[in-house]
Structure 1
Amino acid sequence: MNKLGIKRRVTTTFAVLVVAGSGVLAATPAHATTPEATASVSWPALPKGKVVSRITLNIREDPTTNSPSLGGLRPGAIVALDCKVRGQNVNGNNLWYLLADGAPGYVAARYVQNLSYVPYCED
């Protein structure tokens, strides 16, 4: 996956979260016309993961340890995950998670225990 595709996906995800959080966008099924019918509409929960490294886990710009660090996550932190990609092999695991909730960057899946199913990123 190229950098432009990733940045576009992160920007799009962030824009959707901002618009959805502002109350401007309402998720209403086409057949729902009453407040009672729309009350049951819910968004699927984002996949979550728990940091299982013993030290601060680096957040990387790209799915490789050679990529610049964008910050870190503390051991035991629960984080929202957008999707997974194949990247550099880290201790036998070549999967990396793209963070969600507007947080840019990737973390090595080797050090994150996924708490629910995480889909692959689309190209």
Structure 2
Amino acid sequence: MYVSGMRRMVSACAIAALAGSGILLTAGGASAADPTPVPGPAQQTAPAAPTAEPQGKVVANGGLWVHQEATTASQRLNLLPQGTVAALKCKKTGQNVDGNKLWYKLGAGKPGWVSARYVQNLSPVPYCK
């Protein structure tokens, strides 16, 4: 008799716990609490995510050199392989490269400039301030 009563109590506690968590299964299927949260007086809206930087895709055969300044005469910092999608902070006028005087400053905290002649814009890039 004692074991039977204990089983009923454990079962009742388990059912209460499952019902409180919203995952109690019934013969008709799953029963769950409404997944849509209802805003309360203490609940605040999360701040908006910062806007992503503009991006560009390297289209130069063999890749594109990143330079310290907006000129091919400045120090080369690294090579971006063809097809690389890079964040772009801003653009400015620099050395003319095959008829294009625009250069992009890399974004995402990366140093350097790349010639716009060999970058396909994936979004508008503002001028540097």
Length-normalised TM-score, structure 2: 0.65
In our comparison, the structure showing a higher alpha carbon Rg is: 2
Does residue 112 of structure 2 align to residue 88 of structure 1? no
**Identity of aligned pairs, percent?**
50
Deviation at 1:36, TM superposition (A): 3.0
Change (3 A) 1:35 1:94: farther
SS in 2 for 1:118: coil
Length, aligned pairs only? 89
- Give the AA of the match of 1:49: G
- Residue 106 of structure 1 corresponds to which residue in structure 2? 113
Deviation at 1:99, TM superposition (A): 0.2
Query: Relative CO higher for 1 or 2, CA cutoff 8 Å, sep ≥ 6?
Result: 1
Extract structure 1 runs of 4+ deviating beyond 6 A: none
- Residue 77 of structure 1 corresponds to which residue in structure 2? 84
Say what the alpha-carbon RMSD is for the aligned residues: 1.6
| Distance (Å, rounded) in 2 between the aligned partners of 1:35 and 1:92 | 56
Q: Which runs of 5+ in 1 are unaligned?
A: 1-33
| Distance (Å, rounded) in 1 between the aligned partners of 2:91 and 2:111 | 13
Length-normalised TM-score, structure 1: 0.68
| Distance (Å, rounded) in 1 between the aligned partners of 2:95 and 2:75 | 14
| Distance (Å, rounded) in 1 between the aligned partners of 2:111 and 2:90 | 12
SS in 2 for 1:94: strand
Q: Which runs of 5+ in 2 are unaligned?
A: 1-41
Q: Of residues 38, 41, 52 in structure 2, which corresponds to 1:45?
A: 52
| Distance (Å, rounded) in 1 between the aligned partners of 2:97 and 2:47 | 42
